[in-house]
Amino acid sequence: MKSWKVIVYLTLCISTGVGSVSFAASSTDVEIHFESSPQRHLTYNHRPRLDEVVLQALNKTDADWRKIDWFTSGIYDINVELKLKQQVFGVIAKQQAIASKRYHGSWFYWSQLRNSLESLHYAKRIFQTIDPDATRLSLPLNPKLTGNWLMTLKYTPKDVLVLGGVTKPGKQMWQPRLDAGSYAQTAGLFDNTISKVTVIQPDGKVEQHQTGYWNYSFSEISPGAIIYVPLPVEELPVIYPNDRLQNPNDLVVELLRNRLP
């Protein structure tokens, strides 16, 4: 009878966290990336709220909070590996191989795209603002953090990144009132008849911008955005049933949403 009581007591200690049985408290580690400064870390033995972490990160990096571009800055969950990268590379490899066998010129651009994507870094982004003036006013936007996180603090960028079906992928100087089609044209379009491109704004929002002469409408592009020119998609053989259900361009866009600036 006594042994049964001991088991019950231990069970209560485990479930409530009280008594003589102790467990490691929840810990939080936040890696801070701020411009070209050395990486910094904030470590907590409790679950801090997002606004608390941001304010301490600003203090630790000596960042001028008045110059921070909250549209570009963000937070990433690095508790789990972002497996989307390997999935995208696998799909691109199939597109490249099949286009090559069919003597379609797009094989080169799929290969070039993979090289561009491999030069970037990724993590699972949380798509919300980290501006403490906004998060402290909304509990859903101001969660408690536990585990491992990465935070980027950015001043306003001066460029945009153009990728996909272009001959000269890479960064271009951002210019006010310049549309996505103009950036794509400067990079050299693989297909001059293309009528729309995908724009990934710095906060991760995905937009379709009309660029054809028959459907053109101007849309703003923010500094730090990614302009992705979609590539022709090869129909896959039936031996790839899962891949046939996925649009490679959509997968690339989703991966780019999680790019680390």
Q: What is the CATH number of the domain that holds 182?
A: 3.10.560.10
CB 260 within 8 Å of CB 120? yes
What's residue 238's pLDDT? 63
CB 61 within 8 Å of CB 37? yes
What's residue 241's pLDDT? 61
What's residue 17's pLDDT? 37
Residue 132's closest CA among 76, 78, 66, 77?
66
Q: What is the CATH number of the domain that holds 35?
A: 3.10.20.700
What's residue 235's pLDDT? 86
What's residue 79's pLDDT? 94
Tell me how many domains the chain contains: 2
Is the same domain home to 110 and 47? Answer: no
Is the same domain home to 167 and 71? Answer: no
What's residue 14's pLDDT? 30
pLDDT, block means (10 residues), the chain with 261 residues: 35 33 64 93 97 97 94 96 94 94 95 98 97 96 97 97 98 96 96 95 97 87 97 79 77 97 87
User: Token pair for residue 88?
Assistant: 């995208």
Is the same domain home to 37 and 110? Answer: no
Q: Would 9 be classed as within a structural domain?
A: no
Q: Read off the pLDDT of residues 97-116 as tens digits, 9 standing for 90 and up.
A: 999 999 999 999 999 999 99
| 73: Cβ contacts below 8 Å, ≥ 6 apart | 130, 151, 152, 153, 154
What's residue 16's pLDDT? 33
Q: Read off the pLDDT of residues 124-180 as tens digits, 9 standing for 90 and up.
A: 999 999 999 999 999 999 999 999 999 999 999 999 999 999 999 999 999 999 999
Q: Would 6 be classed as within a structural domain?
A: no
What's residue 200's pLDDT? 98
CA distances from 137 to 54, 133, 144, 231 (A): 14, 7, 14, 42
Domain housing 132? 23-82+122-155
First to last CA, the chain: 62
